[in-house]
Amino acid sequence: MEEFNVKLENSLIISGSDALLIVDVQNDFTPGGALPVNEGDQIIPGINQLATKFKKRETLIVLTQDWHPDGHHSFASVHDGKNPFDPFDGEGLGPVLWPDHCIQGSLGAEFHDDLDTTFATLIIRKGFHREIDSYSIFLENDKKTETGLAGYLKSKGIKRVFLTGLALDFCVYYSAIDARSFGFETYVVLDLTRGIDNPEGNVLKAIRDMEQKGVRFVKSPAFQTG
Ligand code: VGL
Ligand code: ZN
């Protein structure tokens, strides 16, 4: 794994007001999928192990799923003459267009087989409005339509959230920023996420922006069950 030269928490004791958020660990984001993230499958055993630690404390464990209808406007294929990864600036869309991915009910939209989904206390789906994308697991890309996750976590008394999954420079990044603005103490578990990094440097840019906005970083061996 790349090192990003960030400050890491040494040791964290998991408590009942913590939630583990596992973002979009779906077939299409792993090698062999439609929008594969390099090494996206390699983080899964570590996510299962961390979920085991959280489960011991009976904390909330949330899985999310990118869940697009056919012909979603984030797909290059619906825009004449456009290719995947072309820049695109549309209301609630962009900054780039994507290959068709995570289509509702398709194999690509299913969780990766290696992911133990029995841990989940909530599974939340996003990106199902045809004309608007949703990178963040809290807010759609219009920046106002809530997925309901912030309300759920608040109603359960959650104070800290720990983000893992895919992709570091898109869904994990936008989710971390929104988690901060909803008032959660927010951590990204750096060894349990991987980025798309297209264009190159995008991951580093996302890390620096998260740092600046008060997101914290940790690696999975730092977690204790107390
Ligand atoms: C994602 C691009 C498009 C993600 C979802 O989960 O990071 N990225 N849709
Ligand atoms: Zn998507």
Whose CA is closest to 177, among 210, 146, 211?
Answer: 210
Domain-located, residue 120: yes
- The total domain count for the chain is 1
Residue 2 has pLDDT above 70, yes or no: no
Active site residues: 24, 126, 171
Task: Name the token pair of 102.
Answer: 């995570």
Confidence of residue 1 (pLDDT cuts 50, 70, 90): low
User: 82 is in which domain, residue-wise?
Assistant: 12-41+53-191+201-224
Assign residue 143 the CATH number of its domain.
3.40.50.850
Q: What are phi and psi of 151, to 5 degrees?
A: -65, -40
Rounded mean pLDDT of 117-133?
Answer: 97
As for ligand 1, residues whose beta carbon falls within 6 Å of it are: 24, 29, 66, 98, 135, 166-167, 170-171
Beta bridge partners of 13: 224
* Beta-carbon neighbours within 5 Å of ion ligand 2: 66, 127
Calculate the alpha carbon distances from 95 to 59, 161, 198, 202, 223 in Å: 35, 26, 11, 12, 35
Residues present in the chain in total: 226
- The reported pLDDT for the residue numbered 3 is 77
Compute, in angstroms, the gap from residue 67 CA to the centroid of ligand 2: 7
Q: Per-residue pLDDT tens for 41-94?
A: 999 999 999 999 999 999 999 999 999 999 999 999 999 999 999 999 999 998
What is the CA angle 195-201-206, rounded to 5?
60
Residue 48 lies in a domain: no
DSSP, collapsed to helix, strand or coil, labels residue 44 as: helix
The answer to the question of residue 6 being in a domain is no
Q: Is residue 122 part of a domain?
A: yes
d(CA 158, CA 108): 31
Asked if residue 168 is part of any domain, the answer here is yes
Residue 177 lies in a domain: yes
Instruction: For residue 3, tell me if it sits in a domain.
Output: no
